[in-house]
Structure 1
Amino acid sequence: MRFWILISFVLLPLFGLAQGGTITGKVTRMDTNGALAKASIFLSNSSYGTSTNDDGTFTLSGVKPGQYELIVTMVGLEDHSQTVLIGKEPIKLHIALMPKVTQLREVVISTPESWRKNYEMFVKEFLGVSENAKNCKILNPKVLNFSYRKAKETLEAWSDEFVEIENKALGYKVKFLLKSFACDNLNNVISWEGKILFEEMPAKASQKKIWEAKRNDIYYGSSQHFFRSLQNVKLDEDGFIVMILQRKPNPKRPAHQLIMKNITKYESAGNIDSLNRWKNLYALRRYDETLIRRPLKETDITWGTDKEGIFALSFPDYLYVMYNRKLETDDLKDIYHPLNMPFYQTSIITLYKPYALFDRNGSIITGGSTLIEGTWSKSKVAELLPVDYVPGDMVLTEK
């Protein structure tokens, strides 16, 4: 079964090569004006983070120039979020946190057994099942809350505290403030919303070299690599081939939700004949597809906006992206691939809005604007890199 990834959270930092900037400030409690010690301060989805001192003050230094989403969080208080633009001049902030207003969520009553089943499903779809995922561990699983809707076959998860993840494959400790997570089995869509801080794990130089090689391998051919290449007019040089894919629903295949509903129904009833019929219908391609085999130039699909460092992406139908320096190793049955083309890693972008905005760092900054299928959708939290990540000088061998 192939899952798609819905990009539903906003990533804001911009990549830059200038000297690092500095953010200083003080965090207080709004109702008492008292200083807050040990509040978490970080730039979302990056490796920049710290905590306040006893007097509520903090400093973030060496920050790459650009636009970031600064997050301040503390248990019992409302999170603070604001956009900051790092340049030559230091930024000084005074941030006051409000007492948290209790949000009424659906009351979830679960047994230890149901929690365990939900947790196992969550780990599989959140961390993934790759070799990297096998070296990832959630350190505080009990902070997670789950709700499983059987009728919709949807697992939801959330946490009011940081979900702490140790990624020994890439050398990061990841602190994930998970606001929402949903795994929709009927539509094969996974989405999440949250704020992330990456921290380097200590290690010997030999281990760090191994981590850097793995990070490079993940980066090259990734969506982050693609969007950086797109804005720098380096698609061809960096190994990307971009074309337009046209799709029409396959008239012989019933609606996907109906297929999944009947498979579940007849599997439970033990009706083998009906079950096999609906499984055969499931195996049919969802679409009749045509690939327009004219490689696109960067200027065909993207342009700069009136805001420095922000770019727009727009195209008709679907954007078909191949990376010709790596072959796809998995059987992606839902991804159209002509038999007379090399089986390169391939991803498909769907726009839910007329255009999507992305930044210099290679991050989509318009939440909920894109749907990703194919190779990129296989990457889960175990393959996440900070948005300020810059690959080393390692050159990957073509496969």
Structure 2
Amino acid sequence: MVKKLLLNFILITCISLYSFAQNTYSITGIVKDKKETLPGASVFISGYKIATSTNSEGQFALPKLAPGNYDILVQMIGYLPYSKNIIISDKSINIEVLLTENTTLLNEVVIKPDPNRAYYIALFKDFFIGKTPNASECKILNENILGVDDDIPNSLLTIRASDFLLIENKALGYRIKYLLKNFEYNYRTKIFYYAGLPSFEELKGGSAKQKKWKKNREIAYNGSIQHFFKSLYANRIKEEGFVINKLGTIPNPGRKPDSLINATIKRLTSGQSGLNRVITFNGSDSLSYWLKQRNEPKEINILIRGDVLIDTLVKSFNADLKQMNYKDALYIIYKNELESSSYNSSGLKQSRPPDLANYQISVLDLMVPPVLFYANGGIYDPRSLLYKGYLAYEKVADLVPMDYIPTTKK
């Protein structure tokens, strides 16, 4: 009897270990240039605290990875930064990394100096690092690797980096290596866009600093994009403090039909012979009224109160991914934190009903459907969504790693 129970225990243990092994995989590989393998190269997984370096034969291993979408980053002094996207589904992956010597990008920065560089770098930091309270304790340590291109005819500012940006965040206790893929700011439309791959390393500090960082990390994580999608995947939206409404659109009832607007403006600006008349107006006459009508939006937003049912919004895509597809924008309310005074003056604040408290409000517009996301809150294609409101306010200064685990139970 004892032998039988022991055998059953061994079988159960073996099955459990086998199941666990089947659900975790590794990314291995070799790093080289055109001549030889490269020992001592740093290898990271973007968004995580996972890092290693190549051995004497240029080989590396990143074990115990759950199925998901990973960006592998490789850094070696004297070589251009390297990144490769890898999707793990049901097996481990082996890659070959070929690094290219960094011999030209520095010269490009020297060839094209810009007297307005200090202004542009400050502008870049506002949009990239952010303007939250944490941003005041966040510093880029190697601004000299940033190159500026001001395309005046197209009103487009482009910032590039010849290597990983080194960012020290003393508010959250992280040193971040950030591979900047793209940064563009159109100063005519006031629209900016940036994309890149961060890797995290914890700073060292005494007990007082560790306590401060622990508290600040939890605040930064709460209500974040990662927190929202992690809660959405686990169907714990309500328990984690989120409320999802819809932001629909309806025809603007205060705007006349285009046919009437255009016909009236044509009549008021043309003589009997069809020739245009020279007209002066003071803003209160008929022509001013109809010109304002033409500038009125054809549609206006309307908040559809009532919680969106997660079962109807989120569907399974495969064993590792869930998907979300919708038409009207999502109106996200995070009730566990209030909007800060610095956010209120940021210009990003969203409209809200008078009865809604000063909770954090964000709007999610779907750009490339569907949105695919993982259990850790990672999004398969970040270009799928456009964020407005509080989620657009928090930037690099408020990032925590994808493997961050909050300690406070709600």
TM-score w.r.t. structure 2 length?
0.75
Whether 1:127 and 2:129 are equivalent positions in the alignment is: yes
> Which of the residues 150, 164, 167 maps onto 1:165?
167
Distance change in 2, residues 1:136/1:86 (3 Å): farther
Whether 1:301 and 2:313 are equivalent positions in the alignment is: yes
Contact 2:243 2:307 in 1 (8 A): yes
Spell out the pairing of 1:145-160 with structure 2 (5 A cutoff): 145-160=147-162
**Percent of matched pairs sharing the same residue:** 30
Q: Hey, what's the Cα distance between the residues in 1 that align with 2:358 and 2:97? A: 54
> Which of the residues 28, 41, 44 maps onto 1:42?
44
Q: Hey, what's the Cα distance between the residues in 1 that align with 2:201 and 2:110? A: 34
Report what 1:378 is aligned to: 393
Alignment partner of 2:400: what SS?
A: coil
Report what 2:88 is aligned to: 85
Distance change in 2, residues 1:106/1:316 (3 Å): farther
Using the TM superposition, give the Cα deviation of residue 343 of structure 1 relative to its aligned residue in structure 2, in angstroms: 2.4
TM-score w.r.t. structure 1 length?
0.77
Distance change in 2, residues 1:215/1:314 (3 Å): same
> Which of the residues 277, 288, 300 maps onto 1:288?
300
Structure 1 residues 332-341 or 95-104, which shifts more? Answer: 95-104
> Which of the residues 325, 328, 332 maps onto 2:336?
325
Distance change in 2, residues 1:78/1:227 (3 Å): closer
Q: Hey, what's the Cα distance between the residues in 1 that align with 2:156 and 2:393? A: 19
Whether 1:114 and 2:116 are equivalent positions in the alignment is: yes
Using the TM superposition, give the Cα deviation of residue 26 of structure 1 relative to its aligned residue in structure 2, in angstroms: 2.8
Using the TM superposition, give the Cα deviation of residue 63 of structure 1 relative to its aligned residue in structure 2, in angstroms: 4.8
Q: Hey, what's the Cα distance between the residues in 2 that align with 1:248 and 1:155? A: 36
More helix by share: 2
Using the TM superposition, give the Cα deviation of residue 57 of structure 1 relative to its aligned residue in structure 2, in angstroms: 2.5
Q: Which runs of 5+ in 1 are unaligned?
A: 1-16, 253-272
Contact 1:108 1:146 in 2 (8 A): no
Alignment partner of 2:72: what SS?
A: strand
Whether 1:311 and 2:326 are equivalent positions in the alignment is: no
Which residue identity lines up with residue 48 of structure 2 in the other structure? S
Give aligned pairs, total: 346
Q: Hey, what's the Cα distance between the residues in 1 that align with 2:339 and 2:242? A: 14
Report what 2:32 is aligned to: 28
Which residue identity lines up with residue 222 of structure 1 in the other structure? S
Report what 1:95 is aligned to: 96
Alignment partner of 1:229: what SS?
A: helix
Higher relative contact order (CA 8 A, sep 6+): 1
Alignment partner of 1:47: what SS?
A: coil
Q: What root-mean-square deviation, in Å, do the aligned CA atoms of Structure 1 and Structure 2 show? A: 3.3
Q: Hey, what's the Cα distance between the residues in 1 that align with 2:316 and 2:64? A: 27
Q: Which runs of 5+ in 2 are unaligned?
A: 1-19, 256-281
Whether 1:341 and 2:344 are equivalent positions in the alignment is: no
Whether 1:221 and 2:223 are equivalent positions in the alignment is: yes
